[in-house]
Structure 1
Amino acid sequence: MTSDTEQLIEKPSDDKKSVITIHKVAAAIIVAVSVLFICLAIFFALLYFGSYKELLPSWVGPRNNQTSYYGKAAVASDNVRCSEVGRDVLIEGGNAVDAAIATMICLGVVNPMSSGLGGGHFMTIFNASTGKCSSIDARETAPHAAFKNMFDNKPEDARKGWRAVAVPGELHGLRTAYEKYGGKLSWRRLFQPSLEMLAVGVPVSQALAAALKMEERNVLVEPTLSDFVDPKEKTVYKYGNIMKGRVMLRDTLKYLANAKNPIAEFYDGEMTKLFAGEFEENDGIITLDDFKNYSSIVREESEMIVTNIGNYTVCGPPPPSSSAVTQSIIQILHSYRNELDESNTEINVDILHKFIEASRFAYAARSKLGDVRFEKDALEIARNISTEDFAEILRKKITKKTHEPEYYGGIFEPVKDQGTTNIAIVDSDGNAIVVTTTVNLFFGAQVASESTGIIWNSQMDDFSLPKRPNSYGYPPAPANFIAPGKRPLSSISPLIFISNDTKKVELAVGSAGGSTIISTVSLIAYRILTLGWDIKTALDAPRIHDQLIPNRTEYESNFPQATHSSRGHTMAITRGIGEATAVHPVNQRVYAYSDFRKGVESLAAGY
């Protein structure tokens, strides 16, 4: 009798041989398909990354941040945890708008110095099924009691404290976007990851730690910001700490997540009464009616700044956003496309000089812009400066040398907004959204609601003050004076580029960084769409920035500033220009990248 062992190792029967043969063939096919997939991936990567290599200037150095590319969809934010939150929403069937909402709520938790329910935002949205753009203006609004000269005697009150706060638009804009363009997943689901994070503690990011260190003196003495003070060490939290104790914010988010009508709860409910009471107690001027009267503004494509630049249609919000200014720079640069030296591209001193000069003209035009509901010429000016005809007029004024500021047009003080964050998303259906959200300065007005944990913005500082010329002696911009119900001018420029051939999104890009947003977004778009650089190199490469006032060109380290002395530019090195995020669908892939300048957590996610 054959032993059990012998039975296990006996030669297979013909039937067993057939099964083994089939398995071998199947395994071989799987291996072959896998190898083919890898080869195709390498091939497309070489197409994407290889075509531009010989064109790159020598000063474009590598960075350690990861380049991400995906098969279907991507989310680029300045914190990887929040990028993953948005990605998970997409995987579960949410669309780009749903993912953006979840990502923004998350960013308000992990990077509260830059965003949150106490601030506001601009959104640019592309609907792939209609082929149309739309935008949401959830910019903060001056209270009814605000007036033009309210900060004449105490200009510092516009930057810090309860009078610096404008009526926030963040939640109103998020819920409006959800109801009009999202809603594939439940509203509560979009809050869940942030609630879970607050329940166990929030890891302090590199960006948050840097902001806390910078504002440590103010944070330590402000009772409403005590959540950011380590109770054991009695100092602000440091990088890598687990920040616990934001109980009021967690309860607020949970309440709004479960609310049937979150807008009513926030702007005309019991929560609103708490807000109004706190402002009254602290000598603020925002009232119950200010919250009740607030509304975000939905604009369809006909009301936006939509420009044809080369083979692309570019969409962005109208003023008080600065998307028209950004588009103007890109349009001027595009007019020089036939003069590009393909062997040398951007290192060409002449092209860089023209970028600087285009920026100076565009920033001069920006000083004439303001809230389109208050400034009757603002929309017409915005549309004109982004056209090809206007670009040709300015092109003729750009000479071999730079000029004094007066040469470029109206000279007014620049707006210095900061404390922003940007999100760019493209989903599997080809829908896209770019959102730039802000509380203005780091931690906004550096006061928070004791009853809800919400950090209030300092957007009143974004208005121009009539009797306060800036430090360079230039007068304030009348188009941006304070008025009740008015929204201050912003540098925010969330742009979406659609191919006129395929009718699909080619680039979704925006940036944080105050007044450098405009030059950052325009330079990135130019590098990707005109010069053909890959997304990582386009964002990593050193940047330049010139906003006309002050009369100097700022540059990052490694930038070839010495080459510009012959053109008359006054060059000044600076630590960092802009903090961008972008998504670039190409060659059946969705490439996404988040700026290394925001810290090590600044990474994209997708699937």
Structure 2
Amino acid sequence: MPRARLRPVACAAALALGLGAFSAVPASADPRHTEKVPTAIGTGGAVSSVDPEATAAGIEVLRKGGNAVDAAVATAAALGVTEPYSAGIGGGGYFLYYDAQSGKVSTIDGRETAPAGMANGAFIDPETGEPYNFTPELVSSGVAVGVPGTLATWQRALDNWGSQNLKQVLRPATKIASRGFAIDETFREQTLDNKERFAAFPATSELFLPGGDAPQVGTIFRNPDLADTYRMLAKQGLDGFYAGDLAAEIAHTVQEPPKSADTGLPVPAGQLSTADLAGYEVVEQEPTQVDYRGYDVFGMAPSSSGGTTIGESLNILGQFDVAAMDEAEALHHYFEATALAYADRGKFVGDPAFADVPTRTLTDKLFGAERACAINPGQAAAKPVAPGDIENYDGQCPAATSEPVEERDTENISTTHLSVVDRWGNVVSYTLTIEQTGGSGMVVPGRGFLLNNELTDFSTVYDPQDPNRIEPGKRPRSSMAPTIVLQDGEPVLAIGSPGGSTIITTVLQTLVNRIDLGMSISEAIAAPRASQRNTAAVTAEPEFIETYGPALEAFGHKLTPAGDSFTPQAEIGAVEAVEIAADGTLTAAAEPTRRGGGSAMVLEPTE
């Protein structure tokens, strides 16, 4: 972040950034955008997302005079077309906004909510009396579908800060859905990974498995039903989604899942009703804020745990001179800090409308200083570690007084993030999701979008002491962590990532790479990753294990390769960021390879 007096970035790295610059091509010159370039440097506005069609949609809005909020909604709507397994109007998310005129950072919590009729024991199989298995029962079900908040988020953002209306910003995405986009390897692989689930629902199979197979790489995929849905929403606005025919169809899909007669998946029914949709509201609240080495780091307050957990981790790391450490020492401290912060996340964080969440304490520098006492500079602590004492802390080193809390990780990578900066200096960092890859697997028939399975983020077994227990109307705890960083009141970075509960560590590790370890933003994103979430083993990418494994094992850390049935590619996160230099130069930066690579564009390239 160039405004800071950071460790210098090597000239070779700076040259690499220049060589990687991307000249945004007008949409009229090429009807389809397929080239993914991870770094773009210039002025006039910037967009970073995982997909070139979506990034180009945002750039088109900026080019036509729209601001960062307009472009962010346009980009998100396009991702609902090209990244339908990760996001869309069937899901929810968190919107973070910096307003250049007022200098204020604001948030919109558009997280999905549990239906009013959802019982505390909703995840208990009535036939067996035992909790449903996470897969296949919960992930492909109506019972896991929360009330979607994405469209309400878009409308509130436009009402609060936008310069264009919903009809205008939906146009680029509607065009993409109508004319189609080119299938890449990631889309085909994700479809094949979910083939059994998608085949269980005729509407999903018809859309994503034409002829019984995933679309081939390079072919053109069109979604006329979604184009029609966007056109309808452009005319009717929120009422078109949260009331009327579409609301009834969503509720019917959840309550009577339209599965094929020959599927072996159980697909438990859910409780979401038209009344739930009509009553949905986004929440606006103050962001979290911590100071880290002269930077003001803003994030999402609960129901997201992103802001509190990143904030606490930074407050812990702030007690150490990380920049003076070698890489293994720095990573050891990073692991130990996140383990402590995740212990507090698991113990204390949930929806603040239902639980007394100590947000101020968790982001208090004094509390972080006391938690830092638990770090042994030369030895990893046994995991899981215990949560801190939120009632009595003074920055001194206490004796452990509580039992360890094991991280219960059900979140998955099927999320997406976008970062936008406009010519006036307004900034958006927006993370949105439908939860697992492909969400619930259920397309609303005739509407072209998948419904979320976000309620799997609740704890499966009801515990009255658990802040993330199931309750009607409640938002499940999330790890989504859109982040905006300021210095001296001016924005220097917008950043975020998908990745389930690894979102927090991904954003944090990238910040440490950039601020403490002197990497450029592109280098910080590309660096190999690992995630310690208060578990016995550290989840790590293969390259990370190869590079740092022996040195970190000497500290007592056990590293295990990333990857599961939903993310077999063994990758952690997919960062999308925009950095702002003191002279106004913008560096849009995305993943070079993870998740097939991201797409960064600037309005007026200078390199």
Inter-partner Cα distance in structure 1 for 2:5 and 2:44: 17
Task: Provide the rounded CA distance (Å) in 1 between the counterparts of 2:184 and 2:465.
Answer: 37
How far residue 207 of structure 1 moved from its aligned partner, in angstroms, is 2.5
Which has more helix, going by share of residues? 1
- Distance (whole Å) between structure 1 residues aligned to residue 151 and residue 429 of structure 2: 17
Of residues 433, 444, 453 in structure 1, which corresponds to 2:448? 453
The answer on whether the counterparts of 2:385 and 2:534 sit within 8 Å (CA) in structure 1 is no
Q: Which runs of 5 or more residues in structure 2 are unaligned? A: 14-18, 21-35, 126-130, 258-268, 388-403, 563-569
Confirm whether residue 53 of structure 1 aligns to residue 31 of structure 2. Answer: no
* Match 1:465 to one of 460, 481, 486: 460
Q: What is the CA–CA distance in structure 2 between the aligned matches of 1:334 and 1:442, rounded to whole Å?
A: 36
Matched, 1:194 2:199: no
Report what 1:307 is aligned to.
290
Query: Could you tell me how far apart the structure 2 residues matched to 1:346 and 1:334 are?
Result: 16
Q: Is the 8 A contact 2:336 2:380 kept in 1?
A: yes
- The Cα RMSD (Å) is 2.5
2 CA distance for matches of 1:452 and 1:346? 53
CA-CA distance at 1:604 after TM superposition: 0.8
| 1:248-327 alignment runs, 5 A limit | 248-259=225-236, 262-282=237-257, 283-299=269-285, 303-322=286-305, 323-327=307-311
What is residue 487 of structure 2 aligned with on the other side? 499
* Counterpart among 517, 541, 555 of residue 531 in structure 1: 517
Quick check: 1:373 aligned with 2:353? yes
Which of the residues 242, 245, 252 maps onto 2:220? 242
Amino acid at match of 1:275: I
Deviations 1:295-334 (A, max 9, x none): 11122xxx32122222122211211212210122222223
Aligned to 2:401: none
Counterpart of 1:75 in 2: which secondary structure? strand
**CA displacement at 1:76 relative to structure 2:** 0.6
Question: What number of residue pairs does the alignment pair up?
Answer: 533
Residue deviations 1:165-214 (CA, integer Å, cap 9, x gap): 111101011111111111x2342221112211222223223332221121
Partner residue of 1:444 out of 434, 439, 447: 439
State the SS of the aligned residue for 1:567: coil
User: Compared with structure 1, are the counterparts of its residues 311 and 451 closer, same or farther at alpha carbon in structure 2 (3 Å cutoff)?
Assistant: same
Specify whether residues 598 and 210 from structure 1 end up closer, same or farther in structure 2 by C-alpha distance, changes over 3 A only.
Answer: farther
Structure 2 counterpart SS, 1:497: strand
1:317-466 maps to which residues of 2 (within 5 A)? 317-322=300-305, 323-337=307-321, 340-341=323-324, 346-347=326-327, 349-367=328-346, 368-376=348-356, 378=357, 380=358, 382-399=359-376, 400-409=378-387, 410-418=404-412, 419-466=414-461
In structure 1, the partner of 2:498 is 512
**Residues 316 and 372 in structure 2, CA contact (< 8 A), matched pair in contact too:** yes
Q: What code does the residue aligned with 1:605 have? A: M
Unaligned residue ranges in structure 1 (runs of 5+): 1-43, 57-61, 468-474
CA contact (8 A) 2:185 2:217 kept: yes
2-structure distance, mates of 1:53, 1:93? 36
Q: Does 1:603 align with 2:583?
A: no
The equivalent residue for 2:144 is 164
In structure 1, what is the equivalent of residue 40 of structure 2?
68
Question: In 2, are the aligned partners of 1:580 and 1:595 still within 8 Å (CA)?
Answer: yes
Deviation of the 1:90 alpha carbon: 1.1
Task: Work out which of the two has the higher radius of gyration on C-alpha atoms and give 1 or 2.
Answer: 1
Deviation of 1:50 (Å): 10
CA 1:427–1:590: 2 relative to 1, 3 Å: same
SS of 2:70 mapped into structure 1: helix
Distance across 2 between alignment mates of 1:504 and 1:227: 49
1:223 to 202, 207, 210: 202
Query: Is 1:130 aligned with 2:102?
Result: yes
**In 2: Cα distance, 1:511 partner to 1:171 partner:** 20
CA distance in structure 2 between the partners assigned to 1:65 and 1:516 by the alignment: 24
Report how far residue 397 of structure 1 moved: 1.2
**Which of 45, 48, 56 matches 1:84?**
56
SS of 1:480 mapped into structure 2 = coil
TM-superposed deviation, 1:606: 1.3
What's the counterpart of residue 543 of structure 1? 529
Give distance in 2, aligned partners of 1:571 and 1:398: 19
| Contact 1:423–1:435, Cα closer than 8 Å, also in 2 | yes
The residue type equivalent to 2:329 in the other structure is: D
Give the TM-score, by structure 2 length.
Answer: 0.83
1:33 is matched with: none
How many percent of aligned residue pairs carry the same amino acid?
Answer: 27
Query: Residue 354 and residue 228 in structure 1: after superposition, are their counterparts in 2 closer, same or farther (change >3 A)?
Result: same
Deviations 1:132-191 (A, max 9, x none): 111000000000111221112252443212222111101011111111111x23422211
What residue is the counterpart of 1:563 in the other structure? Answer: 551
- The question of 1:175 aligning with 2:175 is answered no
Q: Provide the secondary structure at the position in 2 that maps to 1:479.
A: coil
Aligned residue for 2:261? Answer: none
CA contact under 8 A between 1:142 and 1:167: conserved in structure 2? yes
How far 1:584 sits from its partner (Å)? 0.7
Query: 3-state SS of the aligned residue for 1:155?
Result: coil
Partner Cα distance (1:346, 1:416) in 2:
33
User: In the alignment, which residue of structure 2 is the partner of 1:594?
Assistant: 590
- Describe the shift of the 1:115–1:486 C-alpha distance in structure 2 as closer, same or farther (beyond 3 A): same
Question: For residues 193-252 of structure 1, what are the alpha-carbon distances to aligned partners after superposition, in whole Å with 9 as ceiling and x for unaligned?
Answer: 221122222322333222112112222332121244453x531113222113x2222211
Distance of 1:569 and 1:476 partners within structure 2: 33
What secondary structure sits across from 2:497 in the alignment?
Answer: strand
Q: Secondary structure at the match of 2:44?
A: coil
Structure 2 distance, partners of 1:533, 1:527, is 6
Structure 1 position 573, deviation (Å): 2.8
Partners of 2:458 and 2:468 within 8 A in 1: yes
Per the TM alignment, residue 448 of structure 1 is displaced from its structure 2 partner at its CA by 1.4
| TM-superposed deviation, 1:265 | 2.0
Structure 2 match to 1:139: 111
**Letter paired with 2:374:** K
